[in-house]
Amino acid sequence: MKIVFAHPEYEYGSYYYYRKLVELSGFESCTFNRIDLERDDTVYIVSPACNKLASYLRVQKDVAKNVQAKVVYWNLERPDVPTEDVSLLPGNAVHASTQSVLELPGVAAAWVSDRYQASLDRLHKHVVLGSHVGLGESPILPKRWDLCHFSYIHGRRQVISKLEQLLQVAPEGAPPDHMDRAAILATSRAILSIHQTPTPVLEVLRSAWSAAWHLPLICETVANPWPLVKDVHFKSFSLENVIGVIDFMLPALPARIDWLEEMGERRHELLCRTYNFRDCVEAGVRETFE
């Protein structure tokens, strides 16, 4: 089957590296309004879902003589965020209910990339979100930051402010200039991930792209991060004990630094080679439709 990734015309900043993974992995891509449901032996992978996707697919069904293509919704959003029928989402909102996306013309399956999240909703199939060696565009440079996180400090993530008191933590949010972001990734000792919402689901996209920079991952507790293994590919802390990250990161002992670097290398090897993006997508399509 031919695999084509379809993206919304509006470019969501948080999906920048997702699009880069598609490009680097050599997949064909198009915008939602270029989806052709009459295209035989073709799978379109769409993410995120918004009301324009619903509109385009319904128009396609009305004009198509024979719907032959299949559409897969790759759900990269967290599971405990309130969702709405995809057709009723305002503007560029993306928190669509999976059921409503599956009811759209041509949509045949929904994927998620965290095993625990897949277990919460039988509508989802688990497919690993891998990475690509070419995504780490900048050379690894001398370290300026103990941690980077690329998230906005509010709600549950306010605990990051405590870490800033004793650690060198890179600025919050995602810099508007991609080169600024790459420079931070190349000069950080580790990347931190605190869940925006309580469910113990890994931020799979963040994990994938940061692996390209060989970064150790320090994250809040996750329930089932397979194929990642705790204390092999990442270090985790509960939100209540996140202050322990300071004790973990502060000792600048050679053995601790070596252990962190080795963890980053193992995660890079796992997600950029063993479970690289292209192989995972092709395996997901085979297992979904063959």
Q: What is the CATH topology of the domain spanning 2-130+276-289?
A: Rossmann fold (3.40.50)
Name the range with the highest mean pLDDT among 96-105, 159-168, 248-257: 96-105
Amino acid residing at 7:
H
Q: What is the pLDDT of residues 66-77, one digit of tens each?
A: 899 999 999 999
E strands, the chain, where?
A: 2-7, 28-31, 42-46, 70-74, 107-112, 124-126, 145-148, 188-193, 217-220, 234-237
pLDDT tens-digit profile of 13-68? 889 999 999 999 999 999 999 999 999 999 999 999 999 999 999 999 888 788 99
In angstroms, the CA 203 to CA 201 distance is 7
Share of the chain above pLDDT 90, in %: 76
Angle at 284 between CA 280 and CA 287, to 5 degrees: 135
pLDDT tens per residue, range 103-162: 999 999 999 999 999 999 999 999 999 999 999 866 677 889 999 998 888 899 999 998
Question: Residue 246 CA to chain centroid, in angstroms?
Answer: 26
User: Which CATH fold topology does 134-274 show?
Assistant: Rossmann fold (3.40.50)
Confidence (pLDDT) at 3: 98
Start-end of CATH 3.40.50.2000 domains in the chain: 134-274
Please give the pLDDT value at position 247: 81
Q: What is the pTM of this model?
A: 0.94
* pLDDT at 258 (0 to 100): 83
pLDDT for residue 179 is more than 60:
no
